[in-house]
Each structure stands twice: as C-alpha cells, then as structure tokens.
Amino acid sequence: MSCFKWSPKRTASEEIVYQENKKRVAQESGKRLGLDGDPDLQFLLVGGELIKVRSNSWQKNRFYKLQEDCRTLWHESSKVHKKKQTYSIDDIDSIRKGRQSEGLKKHTNPNDEEKCFSIIFKGSKKNLDLMASSAEEADRWINSLEKIISTMHNLDYQQKSEHWIISCMKKVDKNNDNMMSLKEVKDFMRQINVEVDDDYAADLFKKCDTSNSGTLEGSEIKEFYNLLTQREEINVIYEKCAQTEGLMSARDLLNFLLNEQREQVTIEHAQKLIENYEVDAAAKQRKCMTKDGFLMYLQQEESSIFNPAHKKVYQDMSQPLNHYFISSSHNTYLMEDQLKGPSSTEAYIKALMKSCRCVELDCWDGSDGEPVIYHGHTLTSKVLFKDVIRAIKDFAFKKSQYPVILSLENHCTLEQQKTMTRHLTSILGDALLTKPLGDTMPTNFPSPEELKGKFIIKGKRLNKLDAFFSKSNTIVEETVSEEDEAAESKENGQKAKSKKTNMKLAKELSDIVIYCKSVHFNSFEDARDKQAFYEMSSFKETKALQLAETSPSAFIHHNMDKLSRIYPAGSRTDSSNYNPVPLWNVGCQIVALNFQTPSKEMHINQGRFLPNGFCGYILKPEFLRSPSSQFNPNNKTWPNKKIFHVMVISAQQLPKINKDKAKSIVDPLVRIEISGVPADNASKETKYITNNGFNPMWNERFQFTINVPELAMVRFVVEDYDTASYNDLVGHYCLPLTSIQTGYRHVPLLTKRSDVISSAGLFVHLMLIDA
C-alpha cells in the first residue's frame, strides 16, 4: 500500500515561489551550521526511502528527509491524522550501525546486518529501527546523520541560542513567508516562554519595522533578535571591567580573570582568549575585547561552572580498586519498575553508555536449557542471558576503558550455571578475568589501570583464591549459603525461606569469581579477622544506612581494604532510589541505584561521576583511604570549613513545561542544594519570577558553610512555581564542589532524564573562601 502523501493546494506559480523559499531557508540553515553546500547535508535534505522495522510482519517503506531548518527529521505517514511525523535532531542520542538494537536482532535477517541501523533517542522514546536498500546507502545515511548530530552538538552556546530562537520563529511563521507580522511577534514571544503586554510587543515591533511595511523581514528580524537577546547583566560586568577607552584590553581581561574568576593565568592567556573569541576584527587587531567578544568568551566551555580540566581522566588510576567510588546499577535489566516492567538488553546498553561500571544480572533457569534474566517471582519480562552478555561485550568499553563488574544473582540449577559459564567465557573471551594477575597470591586489589578492558565476575565461590597457587585444587563443599539479595528476592516472592539456605554451585562458575567473592556479613570485627580482601558483602540500603549512622568509623576502615555493595530495598517496587551520599561518606564503593528511574538521587549519582573523564571511577578522598584516618562524617565540629557564596543572577531560554498549552509560560525559581556530611546538607531558593522563562533575572545571594568540601555535592534546580500543586522540574545540574570553577559562570541545564537542554542555562557568581 502506498503512503498517503499530503501537500497544501497551491497554484503552479505559488508552488515555484514556495520551493524557492524552502531552498533559501535550507541554505541559510546550512550556513549557520557551517555546512553550506556540504554533500552529506544535501543528501539528507533530498531524502529517500528506508524500511521502518517494528516486527516480523510490520516492515514498511517510509520516505525520510531532513527539513529545511536542518534540525528536524521528517517522514511521511499513512495515518491521515498524522500527515507528517518529525524527530528533532536535538532529541537523537546516537546512531547505531548494524543490527545492534533488540528490535533489529529479533525482526531482521543476519544477512542484512550491513543494511541496518537504529536511531537511538534520548530519554524514554523508543528506538527507530531502519533498513536501507544496500550497505552503501545505509552508510550514507549513518555518516550524514552523525555529521549533523556532531555539528549540532559542537555549536557554541551563542550558536545554539540563535538556532533555538530561529526555530521558534519558524513555528509562528505559518505561511512560510519569512516575515513576521505583529500577531506573529506576539505568538513568538509566548513560544520563547515570555509573556509581554500588547503595548510592549507593539513598541518592540515598531522600533524594528524601519521600513514601515507592517512586517519584519531580513535585517529587521536581525535587529529584533539583537534587542531580544540583550544581556543587561553582562553589560554591567563589562562596563565595570573595560577600562581602556570603553574596551576591555588584554590587561583588563587579565585583571578580570585573576580577581573575579580566580584563575591563575598570564597575560598571554588573556591575549589568546581575545584571539579566539573576539568577533570584531579591528578590536582583535588592537588586542582588545568588545562586549560581544566578552559574551562569546563567557559562553564557552572554559567559562562553564564545571572545571574543564576534570573533563578528562585526571586522577591517579593506579591505586587498588577499593580506593574508588564505582558507578553501579541495580536491576540493570529493567526499563521500568520491578513488578511488571520490561527486561531488555537496551537497559544494559543505556547504563553502560552512562559509564556505569557495575551491572547486575539476576539469573534464572530458562526453557531449552538457556538461562534468562528477569526479576524473579514477578511479571517482568525475560531476556536471554547470552543476549545480555553479547550486549555488554559490545558496549562495555565505548565510554570508558576501566573494568566492568558483572554482579551475578544466581538462582540457576547446576546445568544452567554451566551454560552461563560457557557463554561468559566464549562471548567475553580474553576480556574475562579468569585468574588473579601475577604469579603469586595477591594481598590487595589490582588497580583500574591494570584492569583496563577487563570484566570481573562478582558472585559465590566454593574455595579460597589461593587455590590457584596451590597444587591441591580440591573442592570440599559443592554448596554455598544463599543469602543477601538472592534470598530476599525469594522472600519478596512470598516463598518463606530462612536467610541461610544452601544452594549448589557449579565449579566452572565458581572458578571465574576472582576479586569479588560474595560472602555474608556478620560484623565488622568478624570481617576484619576472617575475611580476605577479595571477599565482599552486599548490604540492603536500610542495613547499610544504619551501619553508616551507628558505626561510621568501623565502616570506613572496613572499606579501606574490602569492597562493599549497597542495593535498594526490595520494597521499592516502583524502582525508586535511596540517597547514595551517606554511603559514599563512609567509603562504600558500589552504591547501586536504579539507573532506569530518573530522580534526584540519580542526578546526584551522575554528578558524582561527572569528573575524571566520566569514566565511572572516582578516587575516594585521602581520609577515606588512609588507615591512620580518624574521619567521622557525623562529627559536629570540623577544622577546615569553607564558606560557599552563590549569587543566582539570571537564566536564559528555559524550556516550556506544558508545550501543549500555547499560552503556558513558566514562573521560574532556582534552588541550590548541598548534599554531603550531615552538617553540610542544606537547601536555599530564590523568589519566583512571573511569566518569564526567556531571560528571568534574580540577583539573589546565598551563603553556605561547607565543612567537608571533598564530599559535598552541589545541585542547581530550576522549577516552575505553582501555587496549587507541586512545582514542575524545568532543569537541573549537579557536580562535586571540588569540580566547580568560581567567578562568573554559566550553568548548563539537564532534563529529568539528564539530557542536555541545548539552549538553556543559568548565570551565576560563585566564591569559595576559608571560613
């Protein structure tokens, strides 16, 4: 059946004008991207047919093309009420080549591997699985789309802002004439999230309509854009610092960098900034910075709140594994809740692509002798163990080269345990750690650096690790105690069993458990006297939080030579999360959260692992590693306090929350939250601004006492104030205090699912001084 194709009724001459107009718009959009005349862009603008794959029976030809704004992918639809379907390029996370999605693996032939690709979207939107007519055509689509996505991603803040504003203009330009009437200007103001009265809109319009034509076009729209994006707060800072004939000389800029930004830099660095960011050639020749150049500099990555030096791996990665916080996931296989949500290999891919370094596999007997992964005794769907291991193998080291721990919750019979071992060894190959490093019995963990590219199995083991180095490798027992999370999952399934039942363990599976042998926790004294360094315990959140409260010093010293894994209580059937901070405060390394559940706790987790190249490993502070440490997070007095000053100045281009309601404008407020040792936990917020999400201004100052800076997390939250119900989240950003740059800084904003909101941000001033 051919697709229903809709187009408006136009005369032949109108159609010619319309098509010429579209070409002109596409050319302007391409220029703004720096891709004017680029063959890959032209290929996408022309478009072509691809097969959309949904199931074995639903595979249909659809025409896809890039729209003239160069930021929207369009495809025709057979549904009359959905004449066209669009996907924003901003919403695409990545392009995945080959049959690398669950859908394509299930519903296409292995022989079509080279023709297939998937568009992976941010957030919870389903993948778009596609197949081209040939491998060459698939490569052309993949390369062209990746070029557009990369180009959009690498635009600077000002370019992203301009793109966003122009796209909003296009939405109100219903007749596509590239002109703006007064009515369209009013609609546009609402589109960009600001409510203005009619008189203000009319005045702004009149000021820009220099031709008195009753519409804005060309240079008039540019003037309208300039008036709209004036940053009064930047003008004030610039005028204060520009001491050289109304301009900012390299010396003026250096003074600003030293005194306001607290950066230890030289005059050469200031000159380089002028060279890089000044937009006026005459000013650049004089080694001066104009206001526009200054704004350009303030919108670059080096002026962000996040220290760019921490974007790469900068910490010592040669210390023992247990000296690091490790980004860890619980029930990794779940896409939603743990009662009836779907299990999927996609959930593992998403976690690994967020640099998660410890994933969980709940293994149960499946049909046809093939073990499966799902949340036992629930209605969650099942996924084959071998499919999960293949997905982990393919995606484990794309974001980070540091080791991945596979935490096995083993409920399988001996036969299927042997099958699990076969899959692990055959699929992971040499990357699977099957023996200790070195030729002698180790007394400590190897480092993340030594374990690069390796998979470590966490699970039960029948004997001690030194069996590898003794001539007698006999197994006295074939059973191990079944406790902790594995037993709890049976309790939750209403199967009354004592916590210490025994289960049979296959020797093959036991033998590949090296540095992460699961053992039952009795007490810190028992662990100190009887546990080897590689024997680790898992703690339910309630037990762990209780120990962190009552025995913090003992817990800290336990984690100095052993690993601890914390997992959410089984009562969290909605897959909600607990607060990880108190457990990091006592040195727990593997604090496992439900990655599939966007929440404040996950925002803090992502913020904790943002520095050090986002590699999934963060070196613990020295006082959580040194045996002589007397650190106690519950102390009431601290020797090295800091005072953290925050001035929330303004925000730019906040997104609309209720996009369906044309007249809905946000009333934004900003909250600053500190999470760390109990004495540091605090929260303060600004007043709310009525009906302005485009350029709200607060200029409000706050002060926080920070007792332990090394453990403090700072979270900025922007909310839409509501008198009648809970405030809606507009955006957030979280990072460690130790990775913050002081001075005037832009703060990027993320969605609830932690995707970047490309044009939005906060502008703040920060100071951190000794108390």
Q: Please, what's the b/e burial string for 278-294 (b: 16 or more CB within 10 A of its CB; e: otherwise)?
A: beeeebbeebbbbbbbb
**Coil/strand/helix, residue 46:** helix
Residue 318 one-letter amino acid: S
Instruction: Tell me whether residue 73 is annotated as binding.
Output: yes
CB neighbours (10 Å) of residue 270? Answer: 24
395-597-668 Cα angle (round to 5): 115
Instruction: Tell me whether residue 114 is annotated as binding.
Output: no
Instruction: Tell me whether residue 497 is annotated as binding.
Output: no
Determine contact, residues 209/201, Cβ cutoff 8 Å: no
What whole-number distance in Å separates Cα of residue 710 and Cα of residue 677? Answer: 10
Instruction: Tell me whether residue 617 is annotated as binding.
Output: no
Instruction: Tell me whether residue 78 is annotated as binding.
Output: yes
Instruction: Tell me whether residue 412 is annotated as binding.
Output: no
Q: Residue 736's closest CA among 621, 611, 588?
A: 611
Instruction: Tell me whether residue 458 is annotated as binding.
Output: yes
Q: What is the 3-state secondary structure (H, E, C) of 51-114?
A: EEECCCCCEEEEEEEECCCCCEEEEECCCCCCCEEEEEHHHEEEEEECCCCHHHHHHCCHHHHH
Catalytic annotation, pick one of 330, 411, 558, 746 = 330
Instruction: Tell me whether residue 61 is annotated as binding.
Output: yes
Instruction: Tell me whether residue 62 is annotated as binding.
Output: yes
Instruction: Tell me whether residue 76 is annotated as binding.
Output: yes
Determine contact, residues 543/524, Cβ cutoff 8 Å: no
Determine contact, residues 758/160, Cβ cutoff 8 Å: yes
Tell me whether strands 59-66 and 72-76 are parallel, antiparallel or unpaired.
antiparallel
**Coil/strand/helix, residue 727:** coil
Instruction: Tell me whether residue 69 is annotated as binding.
Output: yes
Instruction: Tell me whether residue 368 is annotated as binding.
Output: no
Instruction: Tell me whether residue 673 is annotated as binding.
Output: no
Catalytic annotation, pick one of 107, 163, 375, 423 = 375
Instruction: Tell me whether residue 209 is annotated as binding.
Output: no
520-525-527 Cα angle (round to 5): 35
Instruction: Tell me whether residue 390 is annotated as binding.
Output: no
Instruction: Tell me whether residue 57 is annotated as binding.
Output: yes
Q: Residue 533's closest CA among 316, 323, 318?
A: 323
**Coil/strand/helix, residue 244:** strand
C-alpha distances in angstroms, 417 versus 35, 391, 406, 519? 54, 19, 15, 19
Burial (CB < 10 A; 0-12, 13-18, 19+), residue 606, is buried
**Contact partners, residue 471, CB within 8 Å, separation at least 6:** none
Determine contact, residues 730/657, Cβ cutoff 8 Å: yes
Q: Residue 770's closest CA among 681, 638, 611?
A: 638
Instruction: Tell me whether residue 71 is annotated as binding.
Output: yes
Instruction: Tell me whether residue 423 is annotated as binding.
Output: no
Instruction: Tell me whether residue 55 is annotated as binding.
Output: yes
Whether 375 is a known active-site residue: answer: yes
What whole-number distance in Å separates Cα of residue 639 and Cα of residue 708? Answer: 9
Instruction: Tell me whether residue 430 is annotated as binding.
Output: no
Biggest distance spanned by C-alpha atoms of the chain: 96
Determine contact, residues 70/151, Cβ cutoff 8 Å: no
Determine contact, residues 513/506, Cβ cutoff 8 Å: no
Instruction: Tell me whether residue 584 is annotated as binding.
Output: no
Instruction: Tell me whether residue 504 is annotated as binding.
Output: no
Instruction: Tell me whether residue 691 is annotated as binding.
Output: yes
Instruction: Tell me whether residue 331 is annotated as binding.
Output: yes
What whole-number distance in Å separates Cα of residue 738 and Cα of residue 692? Answer: 32
Instruction: Tell me whether residue 58 is annotated as binding.
Output: yes
Instruction: Tell me whether residue 52 is annotated as binding.
Output: yes
Instruction: Tell me whether residue 695 is annotated as binding.
Output: no
Whether 330 is a known active-site residue: answer: yes
Instruction: Tell me whether residue 464 is annotated as binding.
Output: no
Catalytic residues: 330, 375
What residue numbers does the annotated binding site for Ca(2+) cover? 331, 360, 362, 409, 665, 667, 691, 720-722
What residue numbers does the annotated binding site for substrate cover? 52-79, 458, 460, 538, 565
What residue numbers does the annotated binding site cover? 52-79, 331, 360, 362, 409, 458, 460, 538, 565, 665, 667, 691, 720-722
